[in-house]
Structure 1
Amino acid sequence: MIKIEDLEFTERLSEGGFAIVFKGRFKGTEVAIKKMKLSDGYTEDQELFQKEVFLLKSLRHPNVLSFIGVCISTSGDLKHQFIITEFMENGSLDHYTKKLKGKFLIEQKLDILLDICRGMMYLHYKGILHRDLKPQNVLINRGGTAKIGDFGISRVADVQATMTGHCGTMEFIAPECLQEERYTEKCDVFSFAIMMYELLFECKPYENQDFNLFTIALKVINGLRPVVPFNTEDPKAFEKFTDTILTKHPKTYIASVVVDYISLMKVCWSALDTERPSFEEIFESIKEFRQRIEYQ
C-alpha cells in the first residue's frame, strides 16, 4: 500500500466517467495516478476499483500497462482511492493520433497494432476479456510502444457461464454485446477493428453521420459499420488515398497492403463472432503487411 504523502501530483492529464488521471512522482519516478470517482453509495465504484486493482496486480507483459501500487486515503468521511501505474509519455493512442495527424507513418501504425495484438493475446491467454478496447485505453510510451490499460470493466471469462451484459464504449461495442447476448473474447476483436479504422483513416468511425449514440447502437446491430471513404475498385479514388499514406520505404506494395488491411478490418467486425479471427491470426496478418512494406 502506497502512502498518500509519498505521492507528488504534478499535472492533471485527463478526466473520464470513473476517474481523473494525474501525472505525478513516486519515490523520484514519474508515474500516472488515477483517482477514482466515488459517488454516494459507491458500491459499484468500489467494485470497479477492486476489479481493476486485482487484474493489474496479476498482469505482467511488455504491452500491458505496469501496475505500481494502490493508495487509499481518508479525509473526514471521504475515502480517496488511487491506482498508480507507469507513466506513458505520449499519452493515449487517441491523443497520439491527433498529435501525428498528417505525419503518421504506416510503419508506426502497423507496429502499434502489433503491440496491441501482443497485449490482447496475453490477456485472452489469461482468460481476460478487456471489453472496452479503444484508442483512449491504449497508451504510448516515449519510444512509441503501445500498452493496453484501463481494466475497470474487464472480465475474466468463465467457460461454464454465459457471458452477457453491457460493456464498452458505444462506437466500439460488438453487436452481440449491444443486444446483451452471449459473448466471447471475440467482442474485443470487433473493438480492435474499429481501432484499425481510426488508425488508417485518422478519423472517428461515424463522425460524418448525423447519429446519436442510441441510433448508432441500433444500426450496428442491423449491420452498420464505419464507411471506407473511397471505393477500392475505383482506381483514381484508391490511388488518391494511397498517395496520402506516409512511409519511409518505397510505395511498391502500399496499395496491396491497404486492400488486405481493409479486408482484415472488415472480417474483424463481422456480425457473427465466429467469423472473426483470433488475435493470433490478426497478428500474423499484420506482421506480414509490415514485412511486405519493409522487405520488398
Structure 2
Amino acid sequence: MPTEKKIGGYSEGHLLKTAKEAVAKKTNGSIILDPEAEDRIPKFDEKELLLGRVLGRGGFCVVNEITKIKLSDANDNSTNNGNSHHKLDDEHHIYNVVQDRKFMSTHCIRSGKDYRYALKILQDSSRKDPQTFISGVVDLAIEARFLSVVRHPNIIKMRGMALMEDPFANARFFVILDRLYDTLTVRVQKWKKNQVKGIRKMFDRKGKRALAFWVERMTVAYDLACALKYMHELRIIYRDVKPDNIGFDVRGDVKIFDLGLAKELDCAKDNGDGTYQLTGDTGSPRYMAPEVAMEKPYNERADCYSFAILMWQILQMETPFENYTVSMFNKKVVAGGARPKCDDKWPKIVNGMMIRGWGPLAQRPSMGEIAECLRDEINRVSDTEVNEILDLSRKSEMSMHKQKYAA
C-alpha cells in the first residue's frame, strides 16, 4: 500500500480534512449556496481535458487554457440543448446558453488556436506548505460554490468542475471557466499608451474620440459597479477588488473573477451597527479598506472603498500609492488617511463619489449609488456618434484578436 503523501510533516488527508472543515465553517448558515445547483454543473475527469499554455498564476492557483475536451463516455447522457445549428461566431448565444458536456466538447475551440475555456487548479508551489495548501483548497472550493449560484454578465461564469466524490476537499479539484483576455492591469497600461492627445479637450463636444475614450473607461467602471452591487444585494462581500482580479472576454466585456475571498454576510451576526466581525487584513493592501487592514469590524462597503481606489486608477491610468513602502503606506494611508488626488478636469460628481467612497465607512455610498452616479455621467456625455466610435473600436479590437489567433 503506497505511503500517503505528506506536506510539511502532515499527511495530505489530514490537511484536506482540515480544509473541508474550514469550508463548512465559512459557508455555514448560507442562504444562497445551493447543493442542487452545484450538482447541475457539468463534471469532467481531468483526463478528458487537454491543457495548453498557462494564462496566469495567482496566490494559490494556476490557470491554463483548455485546447481540447475529449469525452471519455461515448454515450454521455447530457444533451446538446438543441443548439447545434447556431454559428460558432454567435458569441452572445454561446456565452449565455446553458452548456453541458457535449456542448462544451463541441465548442471548445472558437477558431484556429482561439480557445473558449480555461482550467483553474491548485498550483504545485501551493502543495509544499501546509497552511498555503489548506488556504488554496479552501479558496478554490468557496469560489466554486459561489460561482455555481452567482449569475451576472460582468462576473465570470463557471462552466464545469472536477468529477470526484468529494470535490471541495480534494487536492486535484478544478473548475472550468470562460477564458478571459487581458486583465484590467494590462488594459490600463494599453489605455495609457494609446490615450488620446490633448486630454484637456475631453469635454469639448467636437473632441469625439477623446470623449469616447472617457466613456469607454467610465463604462468599464459602471459594469464593475453593477457586478459588485449585484453581489451586495445577495449579501456577498467580495473583499479583493483589484485590477488583477478583473478581466475582459473576447467581446471586450469586463468580468470580475476569483471569488475565493468572497464572504456571505449573516444578518444574525450583525454587531448592531451594520458591521460584522470578519477576518481582517483580507485582500490586497493597496486597495484594502483601512478598517479591514486594522482588523476592525466592517461590512460590504469595504468593497466601496476598494472600488473608489480602483476607479481613480482607471481614470488616472496610474497605480495608486505606487512608490510607497509598506511602512509608509501603513503610516500615511491606513493610519493617516492619505488618498489619491483627484484631477480637477474630472467631473465634480465623479470626484465627489470617489472622495466619499474612500472616506469613513459610515459615510461611503453604496455600490448602487456609485453605479447610478456613473450611469448618470455616461448618459450626460454620451451621444450616438460617441457610441458608434466605441462600437467601431471594439469591433476593431475583436478583429485584431481573431487575426492574431488565426495566425
Alignment TM-score, normalising by the size of structure 1: 0.82
Could you give the per-residue CA deviations for residues 178-206 of structure 1, whole angstroms, max 9, x where no partner exists? 11111000000000011111101111001
Distance 1:200 1:225, change over 3 A: farther
1:155 has 2:263 as partner: yes
Q: Does the aligned pair in 1 maintain the 2:229–2:368 contact within 8 Å? A: yes
Q: Which residue matches 2:297?
A: 182
Taking the aligned partners of 1:53 and 1:32, their CA distance within structure 2 comes to 14
Percent identical among aligned pairs is: 24
Alignment of 1:171-210 (within 5 A): 171-207=286-322, 209=323
**Does residue 164 of structure 1 match 2:278?**
yes
- Whether 2:400 is the aligned partner of 1:286: answer no
Whether contact under 8 Å (1:176, 1:182) holds in the other structure is yes
Is the 8 Å Cα contact of residues 52 and 152 (structure 1) preserved in structure 2?
A: yes
Q: For the Cα contact (< 8 Å) 2:192–2:317, is it kept in 1?
A: yes
For 1:194-273, list aligned pairs within 5 A: 194-207=309-322, 209=323, 211-228=324-341, 232=344, 255=345, 257-270=346-359, 272-273=360-361
Q: Conserved in 2, the CA contact under 8 Å of 1:72 and 1:82?
A: no
Structure with higher helix content: 2
Distance (whole Å) between structure 2 residues aligned to residue 16 and residue 113 of structure 1: 23
Contact 2:309/2:320 (8 A) holds in 1: yes
Contact 2:342 2:351 in 1 (8 A): no
Report deviation, 1:43.
2.7
Query: Among residues 156, 163, 174, which one is paired with 1:65 in the alignment?
Result: 156
Alignment-derived partner of residue 179 in structure 2? 87
Secondary structure in structure 2 of the residue aligned to 1:139 = strand
CA displacement at 1:51 relative to structure 2: 0.8
1:57 and 1:67 in contact (8 A); partners too:
yes
Moved over 6 A (4+): none
Alignment CA distance shift 1:130-1:229 (3 Å): closer
Structure 1 residues 119 and 227 mapped into 2: Cα distance closer, same or farther (>3 Å)? closer
Query: 1:35 aligned to 112, 117, 121, which one?
Result: 121
Structure 1: segments with no counterpart, 5+ residues: 233-254
Q: Is contact 2:289-2:305 (8 Å) kept?
A: yes
Q: Distance in 1 between matches of 2:369 and 2:337?
A: 24
Matched, 1:127 2:235: yes
Q: 2:136, 2:171 → 1: CA distance?
A: 12
Letter in 1 for 2:177: T
In structure 1, C-alpha distance between the alignment counterparts of 2:335 and 2:378, rounded to whole Å:
33
**What is the letter of the counterpart of residue 142 of structure 1?**
V
Deviation at 1:227, TM superposition (A): 3.1
Contact persistence 1:63–1:145 (CA under 8 A): yes
> Separation in 1 of the partners of 2:338 and 2:214?
23
Match of 1:20, SS state, is strand
> What letter matches 1:22 in structure 2?
N
Aligned partner of 2:362 in structure 1 is 274
How far has the Cα of 1:229 moved from its partner?
7.0
Out of 45, 51, 58, which is 1:16 matched to? 58
- In 1, Cα distance between equivalents of 2:340 and 2:234: 34
Structure 1 residues 219 and 80, CA gap change in structure 2 (3 angstroms): same
On the 8 A contact 1:68/1:86 being kept in 2, the answer is yes
Distance 1:275 1:118 in 2: 20
Unmatched segments (≥5 aa) in structure 2: 1-42, 70-104, 109-115, 165-169, 196-212, 270-275, 385-407
Matched residue SS, 2:142:
helix
Does the 8 Å CA contact 1:121/1:280 hold for their aligned counterparts? yes
Q: How many residues are aligned here?
A: 264
Residue 72 of structure 1 contacts residue 80 of structure 1 at CA under 8 Å; is this kept in 2?
A: no
Question: How big is the shift at 1:149?
Answer: 0.9
1:142 aligned residue: 250
* 1:100 equivalent in structure 2: 191
Structure 1 Cα separation of the partners of residues 252 and 216 of structure 2: 8
SS at structure 2 position matched to 1:168: coil
State the Cα distance separating 1:79 from its structure 2 match. Answer: 3.6
Cα RMSD after superposing both structures = 2.1
Distance 1:229 1:61, change over 3 A: closer
107 and 87 in structure 1: CA distance in 2 versus 1, 3 angstrom threshold:
same
Alpha-carbon shift at residue 265 of structure 1 (Å): 0.9
Q: Supply the distance in 2 between the matched residues of 1:190 and 1:31 (Cα, whole angstroms).
A: 32
